[in-house]
Structure 1
Amino acid sequence: MAALSYPRTYTSIPGRRASTRSSARFFYLVDAIGRLHEPTQTQLDALESSYLSTGEFLAECSEFKGYLHEIHSHGSRQLGTLVRPMDESREGFDIDLIARLRPTAMGKYEGPNAPVRLLNDLHSAVERYAKAHGLGIRRWERCVTLEYAGGMFADIAPVIDAPSQFGLYGDTLGRIPDRDKRLYDLTNPRGYAKGFDKAATISPAFTSILAFSEALNTEKRADVVPLPDSQEVFGRLLSRLVQLLKLHRNVAFGQTTSGADDLAPSSIIITTLAAAAYAVQAPRPHDSPLELLLDIVETLPDYFERTPLPNGGEYWLLANPSAPGENLASGMNTPTRQAAFNSWHRLIKMQLADIVEAIERNAGMDVLLPKLEAAFGKRAARAIRDEEARLRHNATSIGKVALVSAGASIATTARAHTFFGD
């Protein structure tokens, strides 16, 4: 990702870990899971309609009239890395919204406790909207959460535009209030999205792309699994990887119980690490998308800048490439949280290797499904199992085992929503 400090050395990467055929089957299993977790066009239309209605109300309310000029989505919705909520009873998605205020709003919201006043005004306005429409509402340190009909949750954060001629994407810089710290922090969600998109456009250097494509064509001819066009998939590798990492994190850490400390790394951390690793690894020769994916996962921890502390611990820094001075890993600087991240990283490497090994030796679904469930959750495994049974029933030939069908209904998990697309 642009402007991110890359490490001086990189983790040693093992050699080739799977055959071309196994790589094709594994990668498109992952891609199919990602596709099936995306909102439908109907759901996207409902999302847009809901938050535009909220934005129109806020623009005309007494608190923000003449100041609020736009409300827009950011985070996972904008980056194409949405995952479904963990609660199986919910069909709605969790999204993040920015309520953008003109720079002149700083004249109203400056001085002692100004950030708190801004958040209080947002809460008051959104509360009136929620009561008028029978919606739920919750207050947080940097945003207000609105629960729309259909189980969609939207985190709405106020940002006062503060464009700068300095820094990367300075034209979209803004100030976001923090209730706990009682100050404004710099933020730049649109600049962050530009940096992510820039990293995603890097073309991977695949050395065996013809063999890989032929393996995919073989799968298509066998009618084992409906596959998308390979070029379309290659253009979305980074988004797919982030989805995979977030889904595995959600399953590994589970839902946080009330009062418990949430040790899971945030989505902004996972996304930034993945984009940085992709920017370095994609131009390097790889046999297939699977080999690239495994190398990126392997090197994720390299992109924290680590400073030894006198007590034997470490201070982790992950610079926000679009907001100067912001450490995205500031909340990770406790031994418990750092240990949790390291444990999760070991787990995902082990489980991915286990799944690849099972596919490589042509293990049956009775072996593969439990491994998929352990890594990606019960709902994913159950949907794959149901689709597998359907394909067996309709099969006209013997000897082919399907991994997943694009028509299956798989739902992913998402932790409790907080600011920045968690």
Structure 2
Amino acid sequence: MNIQVQPRSARIAKSLVSRNEEMQWEIFIVSMLKKLELSPENHAKACRRYAQFAHHIAQKLGVDDDDVHVVVQGSMRTQTTIAGDGREKFDLDVVVKLSGPRFERLRDSGPFFEAFGEALEGLEGAGKPEAKNRCWRLPYPNEPFYFDVTPAIPLSQHITGANLRVRDEEQGWSPSNPEEFADWFCTIADKRFIFRRSLNKAAMDSAKVDPIPDQPIGIDDVLRRMVQLMKLHRDSYYKKQSDARRVAKPISVILVTLAAKAYDEMALSGQYVGCSAIEVALELVTRMPAFIQRGREIRVENPAMIGVHGENFAEKWNTDGGVRDQEFQTWHAVLERDLEALFSEEYSKRSENRVHAVFGELGVTAWKSSHGSGILAGLRATAPGLAGTHPAAPRSTGSSNTLA
């Protein structure tokens, strides 16, 4: 006789539903993660700084404003930014796309990269630019953020597979497609599951500068919220580890890629039926390792750069004696264990240690403040309304690698 074993994520979620606690947990998580995002005031400051780049760089390089196009990339574009434990600066990633005759036949990346760094000198409040592998870091010493600014030029010569190339210390040039990767992620993240229950609801210059996304991330935005949660858990976990282990921790772009592929598989199958955002999140975590390709080498492909010249986000996993691979497996097992233990406890009896294991110091602070502050009622008013049963298919609403 065939006995179907219920997935662990479903068992935990059903336990939450039976205790009538799934909404409490969801709202607590959202309230806590919101504390890790840029405040409206600091978001406005970042936008003002960001808007200065294009004209300043064009002037310093002696090119037309129309030859400079500034775009956000990474977590700022995908709206998965966190600031560590809340005391660390926000890492905001920017790509400056340079076009025109001056940049069409460049062979050496070194002089191009150095000239760009010099062009960043003198930006108001930015501080002294610091060279990284592919980008220049602007520290903004008096702001709660810093910018990593990557210069890019149209693809040419022997590099194919993306529409941009950037300087790379080891390879000279490297293909890059931050906008395509972000679009791939956002298309998946904008898909929604309609769960089998309802949520309560109450009522400058001519140079191109793309706006920084600023839409609020809702309680039903499971993928984005889960990416934030995983980054937070990873950072909290590795703060307690040795320097050698911290160097090998899973990079964000791998977490983002695996999580998005798992979420997309669940959405596209039309067979996954969940009762809450927490169940979807737990199942997503369980499925992530299945999207690591294991053959002659380990690969986590850039899904927006497929082909002969594709990009392997896990390239370093193949040259370090298995250290990064083992770190991913170890951290992933800890994440599963911590989430299961956290959600298996009654919400009213959850321990400070459990909350700290998943969310760090900021989570503990948010947990303590939620006891008597009415935070649940206030945040419940921001939750989007969902009703009805789970449909056959979802509906769509309108490190060294900085893609994520």
TM-score (norm 1): 0.75
- Structure 1 gap segments, 5+ residues each: 1-10, 221-230, 309-314, 392-401, 408-416
Pair 1:145 & 2:127 matched: no
8 A contact 1:100–1:159 mirrored in 2: yes
Offset, 1:41: 1.9
Pair 1:181 & 2:154 matched: no
Query: How far apart, CA to CA, are the structure 1 residues paired with 2:300 and 2:104?
Result: 32
Pair 1:117 & 2:103 matched: no
Pair 1:26 & 2:25 matched: yes
5 Å-filtered alignment, 1:285-304, equals 285-304=273-292
5 Å-filtered alignment, 1:181-260, equals 181-182=171-172, 184-204=173-193, 206=195, 208-210=196-198, 213=199, 232-234=218-220, 236-254=221-239
Offset, 1:243: 0.7
1:266 to 235, 246, 251: 251
Query: How far apart, CA to CA, are the structure 2 residues paired with 1:65 and 1:267?
Result: 35
8 A contact 1:145–1:154 mirrored in 2: yes
Offset, 1:122: 1.6
5 Å-filtered alignment, 1:278-357, equals 278-282=263-267, 283=270, 284-308=272-296, 315-324=297-306, 325-333=310-318, 334=320, 335-357=322-344
8 A contact 2:86–2:362 mirrored in 1: no
Which amino acid in the other structure matches residue 252 of structure 2?
S
Deviates more, 1:59-68 or 1:173-182: 59-68
1:75-100, CA deviations, whole angstroms, 9 ceiling, x for partnerless residues?
A: 11111101014472x5x421000010
5 Å-filtered alignment, 1:15-54, equals 15-17=10-12, 18-20=15-17, 21-54=20-53
Cα distance, 1:259–1:58 mapped onto 2, change above 3 Å: farther
- Aligned partner of residue 138 in structure 2, secondary structure: strand
Cα distance, 1:256–1:62 mapped onto 2, change above 3 Å: farther
Give the percent of matched residue pairs that are identical in Structure 1 and Structure 2. 20
Which amino acid in the other structure matches residue 230 of structure 2?
L
Which amino acid in the other structure matches residue 372 of structure 1?
V
Query: How far apart, CA to CA, are the structure 2 residues paired with 1:189 and 1:84?
Result: 21
Query: How far apart, CA to CA, are the structure 1 residues paired with 2:126 and 2:257?
Result: 37
Offset, 1:387: 4.3
Query: How far apart, CA to CA, are the structure 2 residues paired with 1:67 and 1:118?
Result: 19
8 A contact 1:29–1:404 mirrored in 2: no
- Aligned partner of residue 285 in structure 1, secondary structure: coil
Query: How far apart, CA to CA, are the structure 2 residues paired with 1:263 and 1:350?
Result: 21
1:238-285, CA deviations, whole angstroms, 9 ceiling, x for partnerless residues?
A: 111111111111111128988886111111111111110000113421
Which amino acid in the other structure matches residue 367 of structure 2?
I
Aligned to 1:223: none
8 A contact 2:184–2:304 mirrored in 1: yes
2:147 to 147, 154, 164: 154
Aligned to 1:75: 74
Aligned to 1:4: none
Superposition RMSD in Å:
3.1
Cα distance, 1:261–1:240 mapped onto 2, change above 3 Å: closer
- Aligned partner of residue 129 in structure 1, secondary structure: coil
Aligned to 1:57: 56
Offset, 1:175: 1.1
1:57-87, CA deviations, whole angstroms, 9 ceiling, x for partnerless residues?
A: 1111136557842112111111110101447
TM-score (norm 2): 0.78
Aligned length: 351
Cα distance, 1:390–1:205 mapped onto 2, change above 3 Å: closer
- Aligned partner of residue 23 in structure 2, secondary structure: helix
8 A contact 1:101–1:161 mirrored in 2: yes
- Structure 2 gap segments, 5+ residues each: 203-216, 381-398
Aligned to 2:396: none
Which amino acid in the other structure matches residue 334 of structure 2?
L
Query: How far apart, CA to CA, are the structure 1 residues paired with 2:317 and 2:137?
Result: 24
